[in-house]
Amino acid sequence: MLKCPRKPKKSDIGKRGGWMEPRKTRVRKITLPERHMFVTEGTKTEPFYLYGLIAELVEKLGNEVNNQITVYPEGTNTLFLMEKAEQHLQNAADSYQHVWIIFDLDDFPHDRFDNVKFRCQALNNRNRENGYGPMYHAIWSNQCFELWVLLHFGTMESAITRTEYYDKITNYLRAQGLCDEYRKKDANLFSYLRPKLKTAIKNARKLEEKFRDSPPSKSDPCTMMHHIFDEDAFGQYIL
């Protein structure tokens, strides 16, 4: 015959090992990304794309992400971006582990375009020798950021004009039923492209390998945007 459990004594409640011990709530610990600073040449497309990325990170990791990622849309030329980044680092209340410089070739002289990459490499070498300082990332696109957008839908084998980039992107977005026309200041750009992110990364890697021995100014079409999603950057949280 089954026996009903006895009524608990008051002394049993809360006692370690007692059957009425309150259940402990497990707190899930989430690893937040390191502190990242993005300094962009553009003031429209690139910042809005990054805001979309941050929104997904906040959804997955929590609101604290907003305190660990900063975007500075500068609207200035390539070499001045480096100066702006160093100014922001000096004025920051907390240190950053990564500084991402995002810029296009546009109509800038080729030597200035290439020098941003070399400047980042020099700073990284200095910081490694000193044992402190952020890692600089030269995230360039030749000719423009729109190449990264286009790589979500297919490969690129040869250079095309800016107008052709915009027309192709509009056609792809329209075919997907996402919008009628590509606009540089579209707050939904990241969400439009998100389902095809892995495709863009694969296509960008192919171009990087193709131009592996060429300077950025001679690598058309090519972009480094996919490195934002490397495993040791944001890929561990996004992919």
pLDDT for residue 14 is more than 80: no
Antiparallel, parallel or unpaired: β 98-104 and 36-40 = parallel
Do 43 and 187 meet the contact criterion of CB atoms below 8 Å apart? no
Place of tokens 């990241």: 190
Nearest partner of 228 among 220, 238, 217, judged by Cα: 238
CA distance 1 to 238: 57
pLDDT bucket at 138, cuts 50 / 70 / 90: very high
Ranges 70-84, 145-159, 193-207: which has the least confidence: 70-84
Phi, psi of 101 (to 5 degrees): -100, 115
pLDDT for residue 5 is more than 50: no
Identify the residue with better confidence: 23 or 96.
Answer: 96
Tell me, rounded to whole angstroms, the distance of Cα 55 from its chain centroid. Answer: 11
pLDDT bucket at 77, cuts 50 / 70 / 90: confident
Per-domain residue ranges of the chain: 36-238
* Ramachandran quadrant class, 94 (left: phi over 0; alpha: psi -120 to 50; beta: rest): beta
pLDDT bucket at 78, cuts 50 / 70 / 90: confident
Q: What is the pLDDT of residue 31?
A: 59
Over residues 15-45, the pLDDT tens digits come to 444 433 444 444 344 556 699 999 999 999 9
Q: What is the pLDDT of residue 15?
A: 45
DSSP secondary structure, the chain, as one string: -PPPPPPPPTTTTT-TT-TTPPPPPPPPP-PPPPPEEEEES-SSHHHHHHHHHHHHHHHHH-GGGGGTEEEEE----HHHHHHHHHHHHHH-SS--SEEEEEEE-TTS-HHHHHHHHHHHHHHHHHHHHHT-SPEEEEEEEES-THHHHHTTT----S---HHHHHHHHHHHHHHTTS-SS--TT-TTHHHHHGGGHHHHHHHHHHHHHHTTTS-GGG-SSEE-GGGGGSIIIIIHHH-
- How many percent of the chain have pLDDT more than 90? 77
pLDDT for residue 142 is more than 80: yes
pLDDT bucket at 230, cuts 50 / 70 / 90: very high
